[in-house]
């Protein structure tokens, strides 16, 4: 897939060491990204992938299809809620797809309700929706390993065009606080590629911090809300 160029209003946050994925610990979960030194409100958004869905369990590409969480996905979200309780989360947002809404409801701190934001839903994957990787390879030989995608597949550029303004708008409402956004693997990885970051395989309840200053989006640290050794991780890459 062709990597979209970084556009004005996006920059990679500079740190003394490259970001690394962290398993949750009391210390790391209490340590949300530090506030930026710029004058004015600085919003911190933690984008997190939903729990395992029934189609994740079957390794099916989902896109805008709307399967619910699996039993394991519900367990993952409940475990993730313990981690969220240690974070300074003031506001909670969610994609409008069922797997994200269910995850958000289980993650929500006491007294915090999730607001649905359709603009942060997963990319549509066109003719691949509902297919497994094996079925895709049979019907579209070699396409998974190429930059070519089937009709109806939403590109990184198109996805970012709808997601980035939505995040900036949410940040304006959040102000100088932290918010949790329950979204999807394709959204998070596309944003990481925007900053020329090579995305790792993203587990359920894995995610990434972003810092928003005005209309500028900065890449923060990875975060995982559950211990990946406690629950099974899922595929495929674009779900």
Catalytic residues: 50, 122
Degrees (nearest 5) of the Cα angle 225, 184, 10?
95
C-alpha dist (Å) from residue 80 to 60, 98, 181, 200, 212: 23, 17, 13, 20, 24
**Cα 160 from chain centre:** 12
CA distance 184 to 83: 19
Other beta carbons within 10 Å of 130:
15
Which residues, 6 or more positions from 217, have their beta carbon under 8 angstroms from its beta carbon?
9, 10, 11, 164, 167, 168, 191, 210, 211
Residue 87's nearest CA partner among 160, 32, 43 is: 32
- In the chain, which ranges are E strands? 10-12, 42-49, 89-94, 114-116, 178-183, 206-213, 216-224
């Amino acid at each position: 897939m062709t990597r979209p160029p970084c556009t004005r209003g996006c920059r990679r946050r500079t740190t003394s060491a490259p970001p690394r994925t962290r398993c949750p610990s009391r210390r790391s979960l209490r340590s949300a990204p530090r506030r930026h030194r710029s004058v004015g409100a600085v919003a911190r958004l933690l984008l997190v992938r939903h729990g395992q869905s029934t189609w994740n369990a079957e390794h099916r590409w989902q896109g805008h299809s709307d399967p619910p969480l699996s039993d394991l996905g519900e367990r993952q979200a409940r475990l993730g809620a313990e981690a969220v309780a240690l974070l300074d989360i003031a506001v909670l947002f969610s994609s409008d797809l069922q797997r994200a809404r269910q995850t958000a409801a289980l993650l929500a701190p006491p007294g915090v309700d999730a607001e649905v934001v359709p603009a942060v839903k997963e990319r549509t994957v066109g003719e691949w929706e509902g297919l497994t990787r094996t079925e895709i390879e049979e019907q579209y030989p070699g396409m998974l390993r190429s930059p070519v995608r089937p009709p109806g597949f939403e590109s990184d550029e198109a996805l970012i065009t709808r997601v980035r303004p939505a995040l900036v708008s949410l940040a304006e409402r959040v102000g100088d606080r932290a918010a949790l956004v329950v979204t999807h693997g394709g959204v998070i990885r596309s944003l990481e590629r925007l900053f020329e970051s090579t995305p790792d395989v993203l587990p359920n309840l894995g995610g990434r911090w972003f810092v928003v200053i005005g209309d500028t989006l900065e890449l923060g640290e990875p975060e995982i809300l559950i211990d990946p050794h406690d629950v099974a991780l899922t595929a495929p890459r674009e779900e």
